[in-house]
Structure formats: C-alpha cells, structure tokens
C-alpha cells in the first residue's frame, strides 16, 4: 500500500478520535473514546469515478479487503452522484419505499446498496461519505459502532457551526426554529473482520425530489413525528470543500491513500450493481 502524507491536512491521531464540539464558553467538550479498529490514523481516498454503481462497488470492495485482513487502517472518502439516483437498502422492498412510476417519468435509475436501512435519493448537493475500517471483536456491537462513527461526525459538524444532534439509531438532525430536521441518514454492513459505515450529508440538495420519488417510509424514528419529506429534511449549506474537511477531521484522515481495488470494483459492477437481478431481488 503506497501512501503520501498530506502536510496540509489534520495531524495524525487515534482512529475515530472525534473532533469535540465547543461548549458555549469556548472550551472543548470531552471526546468519546470509542475505537473501531487499530489506533492509527485513517486514510483519505479521493477516487475519480463517476457512476453510483462504481461507488457502491468500491464500498463493498473495501469492506472485503478489511474482512480479509488486507485493510489495516480505516479508509474515509466522500463522493456525489452526478445525477439524481434512488438507492434502496439491501433488504428494502422497492415498491414499499419507491414511486416507480415517478422514477421512470423523471428518468431516475434505481440501484441497491450492500448495507441496510431505508431508501435514499442522491444527486448533486447530496454528499455521500463512507468509512471502512478493520473491526475488532470487542467493538462489534451495533450500538457501539453507531456511537463510534456518528459522535465524531456530529462533533465535527458542531465545530463547523451547525447545531447537529444524533437522533434515531443512525440519523443526524439539524436543530432549527421549526424543529429538528434530518440532514444525514446512515447505514452499515458488518463482516467478521470489518465494517462499512456510509450515508448522506444533505448540503445543497433539491429536497423536493425526495417527496416526488419516494413514498412515506414504512418505518420512521420517533422524532420524525409523521412529517412528510419536505417538512422533515434540511440542508447543511456548508459547501463541498467544508464538508470534506469536516469528514476528514472527524475521522483523522490525515494521510492520502493512492491505491484502490479497481479490478474488484469492475467485477462487482458487472455482477451486482449494474445487474437487474440484484436490484430487483426484492420488488
């Protein structure tokens, strides 16, 4: 594995050591001390690929590498879809969550990801983020993983000036004058030796698309309070550069990673993520 140090990035620290939020008095709050893997800084991976299928395949290929012991440090990255795309969870039933007719009329493709959770709509202004890490047996509890990943990310967003709260099992919400609105929905997939944790950060997204393309979800966290998509979602309005820095700081991704499993990504795109059989396996 080749890597170069980014002298302008955040300094090295323990993997998943959070950026603590500032208290009103300006003092740093005590950070959570939950680790998913070895105490080594994460690596930042910037990949010039365009399709959503390739990005989903890359997340799975990195998870395979972690599971097989070929990934020894957490890998962190962000990406955006070039055009609107609906992505359903691994166990989602499409017709329960997606308005197929609306997707066809709008020319919006439907894909299926390797992780659980409900359906999301991607597109310009919605930043996707991923963390893939080696997983120790002691850290394999689901609640522990949610905390280890979401607490540092929430803290980094607070430090960037946004009043962010953890809500539900895996949401981040923005405190607004008219209530708490979701800005980030996340999902994970576990294998024996690794974990994939990925999700959305709504920044400058056309929120009306969500209500147009998706049905009301079959289950919801209590803080949603039966609100429709338009009343439930919000944008961070930070900008892509600032979001990338927030994610890098949250997970101490100081070093740049050069290599990524190109051949395996191509195989997964061919055999799974561009396959109708995979996408439609639960109609």
DSSP state of 13: -
10 Å Cβ neighbour count for 241?
8
DSSP label of 250: H
163-213 pLDDT tens trace: 999 999 999 999 999 899 999 999 999 999 999 999 999 999 999 999 999
100 alpha-carbon distance from chain centroid: 24
Rounded to the nearest integer, the mean pLDDT of the chain is: 86
3-state secondary structure of 211: helix
**Measured CA distances, 227 to 182, 218, 232 (Å):** 11, 13, 6
Q: Which residues pair with 87 in a beta bridge?
A: 111, 120
Q: How far is CA 17 from CA 59, 153, 199, in A?
A: 22, 10, 19
Domain residue ranges in the chain? 40-279
To the question of domain 40-279 being in CATH 3.30.930.10, the answer is yes
SS3 call for 174: strand
Residue 39's nearest CA partner among 6, 17, 67 is: 17
Helix, strand, or coil here: 146?
A: helix
Query: How confident is the model at residue 38, as a pLDDT?
Result: 45
Handedness of CA 61, 19, 36, 172 (dihedral sign): negative
- The lowest-confidence range among 7-11, 103-107, 256-260 is 7-11
- What pTM was estimated for this model as a whole? 0.86
CB count in 10 Å sphere of residue 211:
18
How far from 43 is each of 40, 99, 118, CA to CA, in Å? 9, 38, 28
pLDDT at site 140: 67
pLDDT of residue 33: 31
Give residue-wise pLDDT tens across range 50-62.
899 999 999 999 9
For the stretch 31-51, pLDDT in tens is 323 345 445 689 999 998 989
């Amino acid at each position: 594995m080749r890597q170069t140090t980014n002298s302008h990035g955040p300094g090295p620290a323990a993997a998943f050591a959070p950026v603590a939020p500032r208290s009103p008095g300006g003092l740093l709050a005590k950070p959570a001390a939950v680790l998913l893997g070895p105490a080594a800084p994460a690596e930042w991976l910037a990949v010039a690929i365009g399709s959503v299928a390739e990005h989903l395949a890359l997340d799975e290929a990195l998870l395979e590498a972690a599971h097989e012991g070929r990934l020894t440090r957490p890998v962190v990255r962000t990406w955006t879809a070039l055009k609107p795309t609906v992505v359903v969870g691994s166990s989602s039933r499409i017709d329960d969550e997606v308005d197929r007719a609306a997707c066809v009329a709008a020319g919006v493709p439907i894909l299926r990801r390797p992780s659980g959770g409900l359906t999301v709509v991607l597109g310009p202004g919605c930043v996707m983020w991923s963390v893939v890490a080696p997983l120790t047996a002691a850290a394999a509890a689901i609640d522990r993983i949610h905390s280890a990943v979401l607490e540092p990310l929430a803290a980094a967003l607070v430090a960037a000036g946004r009043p962010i709260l953890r809500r539900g099992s895996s949401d981040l919400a923005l405190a607004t004058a008219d209530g708490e609105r979701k800005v980030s929905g996340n999902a994970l997939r576990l294998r024996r030796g690794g974990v994939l944790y990925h999700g959305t950060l709504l920044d400058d997204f056309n929120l009306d698309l969500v209500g147009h393309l998706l049905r009301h979800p079959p289950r919801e966290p209590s803080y949603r309070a039966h609100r429709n998509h338009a009343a439930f979602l919000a944008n961070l309005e930070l900008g892509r550069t600032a979001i990338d820095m927030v994610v890098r700081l949250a997970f101490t991704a100081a070093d740049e990673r050069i290599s990524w499993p190109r051949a395996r990504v191509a195989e997964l795109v061919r055999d799974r993520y561009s396959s109708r059989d995979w996408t439609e396996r639960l109609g």
